[in-house]
Amino acid sequence: MDTIQEAEQLLAELKNQIRTNEEALDKINQAIDTADYNYARSLIAEQKEYLESLKKEDPTV
Amino acid sequence: MESPENFSTQQPGEKNPESEGQDCLSIEDRLLEADKLFEKLQEEAEESSNENNKKGLFKKIFSFSAKEQEAAGDKIKDIDKNFGKELIKAKEEIEKYKKRYAESLVLANILPEGEKKLLEEKMRTEGELLETRKVECEKDLESQKEDLPNYAKKIETIETCLIEYNDVAEVISEKRFETAIKIAEAEGALNRFKKSDAQMAEPVQEILDELKKQQLKFDCQYREVRQRINMLQDDRLENKRYLAKINGLGKTSAEIAQEIADRRSKERAIEENKKSQADNEKKETAPDNSVDSSVDNSTNSSSENQPEDQSKEKTKKKSEKQTKTKDNKNKNKKSEANQTAKPEQEIDLQKLEIILKGEKRNIFAWVDVFKGLNQERKKFFAGLQAFVEEKKDKAQSGGAFDIKKTKIDGIEMRTLAIDYSVEVKNLKQDEATEKVNSLLYKLVE
């Protein structure tokens, strides 16, 4: 009886871990996407700002 | 998920064939391209299209950024060639002039008064001309430098992004660690059930397979994030190089050497200041120590004769006595009393090293031991395990590192923990050593 109870408890714990992991995998994917987006955005925004400042200095270029 | 291979299209310093001719494009064209990419990125963030579109867009952005970076690099070279070198030349001529001026002063003394005045006038005019030329060169160079990208800001942005990726990496490490423990538990249970209860073995096997699949996904995510971190670190280094190059424009080698010497002496002064502050703090805690030892001496034999392995008991007795004798003292005194425990811990580090040297374990087992001792530091050890794996991975150029097979002693493990604190947690070497020692100190206790 003890062994069965122990086994059931372990199974429940492991299933719970799988569920938590699934959620974590999704969240991590989202976090990576966000970080990628933020990095790309800051790269392009800074470059835009720089080019705009060059254009402002010399509108003929 | 975008594949890491496509995240960056070019390594820093590597020549991008597409970048050739970037200089030929007008600023208007470059700005149009940047605007277009920025708009697409905004759209992407709002309606999140399929993976391929996103991958393609990121590729375009990084390619554009690499081209711009290279164009800026070429511009720095041009400025150096046309304005920096000119300023250096002007400065060198002034130096030569100063020597000649000193010589002419000697000569002037033996010349008749009229010729002496003429020579002095000539030297003065030449000096003024050279100085004016230098100032003009400086102005030209400064105006050219204003047209360069703001590398300090770029470095700051990269560092902010690095923090974001490092946070993600830490979360993944924690999950990998949790999952590895559950896999080990499941494997243990599976072996037991195979012998005793075959019916139970089946569901455990299924769960174990699922956990292993998830672990592989975490590994994959971790590798991707590490690759991004490595790329950003390379970018940061590259930008720092550019910044140093810009700062060095128009400077003679003597000026650069002087700047380096000044910086070093400043750093030394800061270090010395810190050291003297730490010494002062130690001195401030010293009177409290003497109070403690006098309390000890009144009831016990001399504390110097206590064997090291009784130090824990001694600390306990001390704190009990402190509680009795200092009930009426304020909270500040209590914190001072806590500080007095530090030197005793430092002495016991020898003991810690003996324990660490004692046994060889695989890294997984070491992390498990440490984690058991420091439940509150679970995150730290999860990060450490991932760091070690990563490090060994690199060291073996390819092939996966078998964390379960490689056995190391505790000293080596401690070194890895210190490296992790320095490289990932950005602590200084001495701070990292102190932190890791205090974490591992529970082994002695």
CB B431 within 8 A of CB B386: no
**What letter would DSSP give residue B361?**
E
Banded pLDDT at B128 (limits 50, 70, 90): very high
* Chain length of chain B: 445
By CA distance, what is B218's nearest residue in A?
A: A25
Could you give the CA distance from residue B293 to residue B302 in angstroms, rounded to a whole number?
9
pLDDT at B292 over 70: no
- Stretches in chain A below the pLDDT threshold 70: 1-2, 59-61
**Residues contacting A28, CB < 8 A, separation 6+:** B168, B171, B172, B175, B218, B221
- For residue B14 the two structure tokens come to 């590597």
Asked if B26 and A47 come within 8 Å (Cβ–Cβ), the reply is no
What is the pLDDT at residue B27? 85
Q: What is the pLDDT of residue B56?
A: 83
**Any idea what the Cα angle at residue B55 is, between residues B29 and B6, rounded to 5°?**
95
Cβ separation A17–B197 shorter than 8 A: no
Under the banding of pLDDT at 50, 70 and 90, the label for residue B48 is: low
Average pLDDT for B287-313: 44
Q: Which among B146, B178, B98, B373 has a CA at the least distance from the CA of B249? A: B146
Find out whether B340 and B292 touch, Cβ atoms under 8 Å.
yes
pLDDT at B416: 82
The two three-digit tokens of residue B40, written as one number? 């697409």
Closest approach of chain B CAs to the CA of A57, in angstroms?
9
Chain A residue with Cα closest to B151: A46
All residues at 6 or more sequence positions from B425 whose CB lies less than 8 Å from its CB, including other chains: B383, B432
CB of B39 within 8 Å of a chain A CB? The answer is no
Mean pLDDT on B345-374: 70
Residue B314 has pLDDT above 50, yes or no: no
Q: Tell me: pLDDT of B88 over 90.
A: yes
More confident residue, B247 or B17: B247
Residue B397: CB atoms within 10 A of its CB come to: 6
Q: What percent of chain B has pLDDT over 90?
A: 31
List CB contacts of B327: < 8 A, sequence separation 6 or more.
none
pLDDT at B323 over 60: no
B68/A28 Cβ within 8 A = no
B218 touches chain A (CB under 8 A): yes
pLDDT of residue B338: 40
DSSP class per residue in B370-382: HHHH-GGGHHHHH
Which residues are B241's β-sheet partners? none
Q: Which residue has the higher pLDDT, A14 or B348?
A: A14
| Residue B161, both tokens | 């992004």
Q: With bands split at pLDDT 50, 70 and 90, how would you rate the model's confidence at B113?
A: confident
| Partner residue facing B41 (CB), from A44, A50, A54 | A44
DSSP B181-222: HHHHHHHHHHHHHHHH-HHHHHHHHHHHHHHHHHHHHHHHHH
List, for residues B334-345, the tens digit of each pLDDT value.
Answer: 333 343 334 444
Evaluate whether A22 touches B166 at the Cβ level (below 8 Å). Answer: no
H/E stretch holding B30 reads helix B27-47
A11·B61 Cβ contact <8 A: no
Position B285 scores a pLDDT of 75
Instruction: Report yes or no: B441 and B342 within 8 Å, Cβ to Cβ.
Output: no
Asked if A21's CB is within 8 angstroms of B179's CB, the reply is yes
When comparing pLDDT for B99 and B370, which is higher? Answer: B99
CB B434 within 8 A of CB B384: no
Separation in Å, CA B6 to CA B1, B218, B231, B418: 11, 19, 12, 33
Q: How confident is the model at residue B148 (pLDDT cuts 50, 70, 90)?
A: very high
d(CA B2, CA A24): 18
- The answer to whether the Cβ–Cβ distance between A52 and B41 falls below 8 Å is no
Q: Cβ of B221 and A7 within 8 Å?
A: no
Closest chain A CA to residue B158: A39
A35 touches chain B (CB under 8 A): yes
Q: Looking at chain B from residue 132 to 151, which residues have their Cβ under 8 Å from any Cβ of chain A?
A: 147, 149-150
Could you read off the pLDDT of B179-228 as tens digits, one per residue? Answer: 999 999 999 989 988 888 778 888 999 999 999 999 999 999 999 999 99
* DSSP secondary structure code for residue B405 in this structure: T
How many Å lie between the alpha carbon of B363 and the closest alpha carbon of chain A? 23
Cβ distance of B61 and A44 shorter than 8 Å? yes
String of b and e for B317-355 (b: at least 16 CB within 10 Å)? ebeebbeeebeeeeeeeeebbeebeeebbeebbeebbee
Q: For chain B, what is the mean pLDDT? A: 77
Alpha-carbon span B220 to A30, nearest angstrom: 15
ipTM higher than the 0.95 cut: no
* Closest in A14, A34, A51 to B207, CB measured: A14
Q: Are B109 and B171 in contact (CB under 8 A)?
A: no
Q: Please state, as a whole number, how many other Cβ atoms lie within 10 Å of the Cβ of residue B92.
A: 12
By CB neighbour count within 10 A (0-12 exposed, 13-18 middle, 19+ buried), where does B216 fall? exposed
- From chain A, the residues in CB contact with B171 under 8 A are 24, 27-28, 31
Higher pLDDT, B69 or B320: B69
Among the partner residues A27, A37, A52, nearest to B45 by beta-carbon distance = A37
Long-range CB pairs of B220-225 (<8 Å, 24+ gap) are B221/A25, B221/A28, B221/A29, B221/A32, B221/B172, B222/B169, B222/B172, B222/B173, B222/B176, B222/B386, B223/B4, B224/A32, B224/B1, B224/B3, B224/B4, B224/B7, B225/A32, B225/B165, B225/B168, B225/B169, B225/B172
Report DSSP state, residue B16.
Answer: P
